[in-house]
Structure formats: C-alpha cells, structure tokens
Amino acid sequence: MYSHYIDVGRLEMICGPMFSGKSEELIRRLKRTILAGMPTIIFTPKIDNRYLENHICSHDGKQLEAVPISHIEEVLEHVTDETKVIGIDEVQFLDGEIVSVIMKLVNEGKRVICAGLDKDFKAESFGQMPELLALADDVTKLTAICMKCGRPANFTQRLIGGQPASYNDPLILIGASESYEARCRLCYKIDK
C-alpha cells in the first residue's frame, strides 16, 4: 500500500474566514489518511478550547482526537520517522517559528495539512499565514455565507456588545460580550 509510495513532502493550506468550514475540510482530509492506515497526528492550539480539549471540532460537530499545543516547536516532540501526515488546526494561533518548523517537516517528506484564518478581524493578513500560503503546494480558500445578506463572505466581523469592533479595540476584552460573524465585503464594518 502506501509503503510502496516514495514520500515527497507536501504542504496543503485550508484558509478562509470563520464559519467557512475550514476545520470540517481538515477533518475530511485527515479521516481519509487515517482510513488508508497512514500514521497521522493532529494538533490544535491550547487556547482553542471550544467544545472539547484534545479534539478538533468543526461547527457541525465532527471531531477527531488532537494533541493540544501552544508552540509549533512542540510538534517536533510528537512527530516520529513513521509519521506520514500531520494536521494542524487554527495554525495562525500558534507561537514560534511556524514557517521554519512546518517547512522542515515538509522537507523530511511529511504531508502537512494546516487550516487557519487568512485574515484577522481587522481584515489584515494574519501573522505568518501569508508566507505559509506562498510556500504551500496547494491552497484551498473557502468562503462562508454573509450572515447579513447571504452573499459569499470572505471577512470575519468582530462584534462587541452586538456592534462592529473598532480597529484599535484590544484583542482580549475582559467581561465584554464578544461574537463573530462571517460577512461579505459590503457588510463588513471596521472603524479606523
């Protein structure tokens, strides 16, 4: 089976706004590698404890077991020579040298599949995502559906107390009710 296959590393990126099905697409790809018997390991940032820790979840409730980590360097402690496929959810939230660690794994012949937000709530590119997208062998850019008007949505709208957040609002707000929506370019609002 896959043992006859010569390992050529590969980086696949799944990006888009919130509610575009990134985790669902990551889970779909990883379930296939697991079904094929390929040694697969999955990581999720520790800060993302929505639903269940030790799992990656899509909004539709599908889940797979994952190792929670804070720094990308922790991946290297879990990956072995036998590991063929590495899945990383919410990759934009990890600390550390994301690009160099991921490219090291790819150059060792691993298939690395990452899902993450390409833009932050300010509609600016997110951390090291642009470089990962440039270096990837394959990029899937998903769209959500605008929760205001139903057009295809490429933006993540941050709401504080139900109102669009301002550009300069702090990333972490204590005690404020905060939520997110997928929005199209017309409905996305930011106050600079």
Decide: is 59 part of the binding site for Zn ion (CB under 5 A).
no
Q: Which of 132, 142, 146, 165 binds Zn ion (CB under 5 A)?
A: 146
Residue 90 bears catalytic tag: yes
Looking only at the bridges linking them, the beta strands covering 67-69 and 40-45 are parallel
CB of 164 to Zn ion, least distance (A): 13
Q: Which of 10, 59, 62, 151 binds Zn ion (CB under 5 A)?
A: 151
Residues in contact with Zn ion, shown as a per-residue x/- string from 117 to 136 under the rule CB under 5 A: --------------------
Decide: is 148 part of the binding site for Zn ion (CB under 5 A).
yes
CB 25 within 8 A of CB 115: yes
Q: Please name the residue ranges forming H helices in the chain.
A: 22-35, 75-78, 98-107, 129-135
Decide: is 187 part of the binding site for Zn ion (CB under 5 A).
yes
* Of residues 153, 159, 163, the one with CA closest to residue 187: 153
CB 149 within 8 A of CB 184: yes
Distance in angstroms (rounded) separating the CA atoms of residues 155 and 101: 28
Point out the catalytic residue in the list 25, 74, 90, 181: 90
Question: Based on CB atoms, which residue is closest to Zn ion, 144 or 184?
Answer: 184
Binding site for Zn ion (CB under 5 A): 146, 148-149, 151, 184, 187
